[in-house]
């Protein structure tokens, strides 16, 4: 049913629904939800979602389940919230930059969060076709604080526009991941098959300060150096923003790519039990690697006019001009298993589960087995010769494979009202020693609750809800921190010998100011889902 249908009563009701959804989507475009990269946290709000769930979100979770909807269906979901992070960093030894046992004062930052899903499915027995556009594990972190700027520099303008001519990347971080997906499903008795093709649209922005005291000075630098590590007068800001351009600009990199999802589902015991499974490939064009084309900014966040430090190096951020840049990184493959049960004599209860694995550490399932394959490679064209950084280097992230479990429950109070419940548990997306203000979270424990309401007699369902995620406290001790400033000093002292102590850490991008500290976070989200089905199984 099209949103422009003006027939009454259904057309009038749907027109109001579409207006509300349009406003919600505009709000969602302004910010994105906190999650691990590519993780579909609450893709359908607090509604059931997983490899065995009857929902339009099956376009992502398991395309085979589209054939179980039994008719045309539309679903629109959105969420808005607040992502809070609290960090208490360990103090450093000024002479070496190494963390000590003393803790600094805690720092708290808050950022907006939101996500959306828009999808539809059409059923031509025994074939179903689906299309969806949705947010997939995006995150905005524009706010930061001075003690955290070596992992995440605060954005002075809170401007995160993508265009190359506006909003230079001199602060803040954003990872906006949206997928455009097409799905095909086939039903044969109680056995369904499905396949989806996904076109990822990835936008990345980050900025952090580099302590120039940890790297050798270029030959052009003749001014005095700083006596202490993490001195603001000897910091060089590195920022990047870009996206995978489907139509590359002249001289740029092409970013069009596609991944596939294969799904299967079984319906058992008079359709009271459903089992489902899916496998999603990594992007196929470059064996999992995607290329982002954009701009970078290398500048001085502050200049000490009295001491003369930093006067003949890169320009201040207020005056610096962006240079062309490209970023390469790998996207994961995924496996998920799920089951759905209708319980009780009257089938008032439904429970849906989703157990998943994401290959964030490409090629291995153990935390330390990545070998740097998760790193981002940044290439700068036209870099200022006075810069302390190399024109091409790896940005260390320390990802590890992600495992998660979701459980969704619903209880039908009466024919038009049901109560919704949700819980989720996910492992950390990065190794403990790699946790920082800019990358990674600890164990994620979440709860959600809401209601499903049937609006009038038009098969329109409204599902408001509230969800809360707790990012369990994580302590990165000095002995376990993988960002190691002493490695930079050792490598510089060796004259750049790749066999010297600290060389491996330097080449992997870990020779940076320490990330040792205590991390804690929480996410508060309001969700809203609107759905319509031609032949829905109402409030099952």
User: Which of 86-95, 149-158, 161-170, 427-436 shows the lowest per-residue confidence on average (mean pLDDT)?
Assistant: 161-170
Q: Is 29 helix (H, G, I), strand (E, B) or coil?
A: helix
Q: Greater confidence, 409 or 366?
A: 409
Q: What percent of the chain has pLDDT over 90?
A: 53
More confident residue, 476 or 493: 476
Does the residue 18 lie in any domain? no
Range of 311's domain? 31-533
Mean pLDDT confidence for 240-246 = 90
- Would you place residue 423 in the very low, low, confident or very high pLDDT band (cuts 50, 70, 90)? very high
So what's the pLDDT on residue 404?
94
What average pLDDT does this structure show over 304-329? Answer: 75
Structure token pair of residue 533: 């089905």
- Expressed in angstroms, the distance from the first to the final Cα of the chain is 22
pLDDT confidence of residue 7: 39
**Higher-confidence residue: 17 or 121?**
121
Between residues 459 and 24, which one has the greater pLDDT? 459
* 372 domain-assigned: yes
Beta bridge partners of 518: 88, 475
pLDDT category of residue 372 using cuts at 50, 70 and 90: confident
Whether 477 is covered by a domain: the verdict is yes
Return the C-alpha torsion angle 391, 508, 280, 51, nearest 10: -120
Q: What is the domain-level CATH number for residue 160?
A: 2.40.160.60
Is residue 479 domain-resident? Answer: yes
Regarding predicted confidence, which is higher, 13 or 416?
A: 416
> Average pLDDT, whole number, for the chain?
85
Reading the block at residue 313, the tokens are 């190096």
Q: Domain for residue 339, yes or no?
A: yes
Q: Report the candidate in 141, 203, 207, 143 with the shortest Cα–Cα distance to residue 176.
A: 203
Least confident range of 8-12, 295-299, 402-406, 475-479: 8-12
* Buried/exposed code over 93-116 (b: 16+ C-beta within 10 A; e: otherwise): eeeebbbeeeeeeebebebbbbbb
Can you give the pLDDT at residue 183?
97
**pLDDT band of 139, cuts 50, 70, 90:** confident
Q: What is the DSSP letter of 96?
A: T
Residue 1: pLDDT above 70? Answer: no
pLDDT at 32: 36
pLDDT greater than 60 at residue 17: no
How many domains in the chain?
A: 1
Residues contacting residue 108 through CB under 8 Å, at least 6 positions apart: 84, 85, 86, 87
Tokens read off for 447: 């709860």
Per-residue pLDDT at 539 exceeds 50:
no
66 within some domain: yes
Mean pLDDT across 48-66: 94
Mean pLDDT is lowest, of 88-97, 178-187, 211-220, 437-446, for: 211-220
pLDDT in tens, 59-78: 999 999 999 988 899 999 99
pLDDT tens digits, residue range 495-509?
A: 778 888 878 888 888
For the segment 165-194, what is each residue's pLDDT rounded down to a tens digit? Answer: 678 898 989 888 899 999 999 998 889 999
pLDDT at 363 over 80: no
Amino acid 155: pLDDT: 86
Q: Is the pLDDT of residue 310 over 60?
A: no
The mean pLDDT of 130-154, rounded to a whole number, is 91
pLDDT of residue 303: 55
Please state, in angstroms and rounded to a whole number, the distance separating the CA atoms of residues 322 and 298: 8
Average pLDDT over residues 386-391: 88
pLDDT at 164 over 70: no
Higher pLDDT, 212 or 29: 212
pLDDT band at 34 (very low <50, low <70, confident <90, very high): low
Q: Is the predicted pLDDT of residue 384 greater than 90, yes or no? A: no
In a domain, 2, yes or no: no
Concatenated DSSP letters for 507-535? HTT--SS---EEEEEEEEEEEEEEEEESS
- Which pLDDT value is given to residue 189? 81
**What pLDDT band is residue 536 in, cutting at 50, 70 and 90?**
low
At 308 the pLDDT is: 44
Question: Residue 31 to residues 111, 179, 201, 425: CA-CA distances in angstroms?
Answer: 9, 16, 15, 24
Report yes or no on 231 lying in a domain.
yes
Q: Please state, for a pLDDT cut of 70, what percent of the chain lies above it.
A: 86
Task: State residue 458's pLDDT score.
Answer: 77
What mean pLDDT is predicted for residues 328-338? Answer: 93
């Amino acid at each position: 049913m099209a949103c422009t249908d003006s027939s009454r009563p259904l057309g009038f009701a749907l027109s109001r629904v579409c207006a509300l959804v349009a406003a919600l989507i505009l709000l969602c475009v302004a910010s994105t939800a906190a999650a691990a990269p590519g993780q579909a946290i609450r893709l359908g709000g607090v509604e059931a979602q997983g490899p065995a769930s009857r929902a339009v979100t099956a376009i992502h979770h398991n395309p085979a389940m589209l054939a179980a909807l039994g008719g045309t269906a539309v679903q629109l979901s959105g969420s808005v919230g607040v992502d809070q992070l609290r960090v208490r960093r360990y103090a450093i030894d000024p002479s070496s930059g190494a963390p000590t046992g003393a803790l600094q004062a805690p720092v708290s930052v808050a950022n907006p969060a939101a996500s959306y899903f828009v999808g539809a499915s059409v059923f031509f027995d025994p074939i179903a076709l689906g299309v969806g556009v949705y947010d997939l594990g995006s995150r905005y972190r524009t706010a930061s604080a001075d003690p955290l700027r070596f992992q995440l520099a605060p954005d002075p303008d809170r401007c995160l526009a993508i265009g190359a001519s506006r909003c230079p990347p001199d602060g803040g971080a954003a990872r906006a991941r949206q997928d455009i997906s097409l799905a095909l499903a086939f039903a044969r008795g109680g056995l369904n098959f499905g396949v989806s093709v996904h076109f990822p649209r990835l936008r990345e922005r980050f900025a952090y300060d580099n302590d120039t005291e940890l790297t050798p000075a270029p030959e052009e630098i003749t001014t005095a150096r700083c006596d202490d590590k993490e001195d603001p007068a000897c910091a060089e800001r590195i920022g990047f923003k870009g996206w995978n351009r489907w139509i590359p600009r002249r001289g740029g990199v092409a970013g069009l790519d596609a991944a596939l999802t294969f799904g299967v589902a079984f319906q058992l015991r008079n359709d009271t039990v459903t089992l489902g499974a899916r496998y999603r490939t990594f992007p196929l064009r470059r064996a999992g690697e995607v290329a982002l084309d954009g701009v970078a900014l290398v500048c001085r966040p502050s200049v000490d006019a009295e001491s003369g430090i930093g006067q003949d190096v890169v320009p201040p951020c207020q005056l610096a001009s962006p240079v062309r840049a490209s970023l390469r990184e790998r996207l994961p493959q995924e496996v998920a298993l799920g089951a759905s049960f209708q319980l009780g004599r009257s089938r008032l209860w439904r429970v849906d589960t989703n157990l998943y694995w994401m290959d964030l550490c490409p090629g291995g399932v153990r935390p330390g087995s990545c070998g740097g394959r998760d790193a981002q490679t940044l290439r700068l064209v036209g870099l200022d010769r006075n810069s302390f950084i190399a024109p091409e280097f790896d940005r260390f992230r320390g990802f590890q494979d992600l495992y998660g479990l979701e459980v969704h429950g619903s209880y039908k109070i009466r024919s038009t009202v049901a109560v919704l419940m949700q819980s989720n548990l996910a492992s950390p997306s990065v190794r403990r020693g790699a946790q920082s203000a800019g990358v990674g979270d600890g164990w994620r424990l979440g709860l959600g609750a809401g209601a499903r309401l049937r609006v009038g007699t038009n098969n329109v369902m409204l599902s408001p809800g509230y969800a809360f995620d707790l990012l369990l406290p994580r302590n990165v001790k000095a002995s376990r921190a993988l960002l190691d400033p002493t490695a930079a000093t050792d490598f510089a002292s060796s004259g750049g010998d790749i066999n010297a102590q600290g060389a491996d850490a330097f080449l992997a991008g870990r020779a940076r100011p320490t990330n040792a500290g205590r991390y804690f976070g929480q996410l508060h989200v309001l969700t809203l889902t609107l759905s319509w089905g031609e032949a829905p199984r109402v409030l099952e």
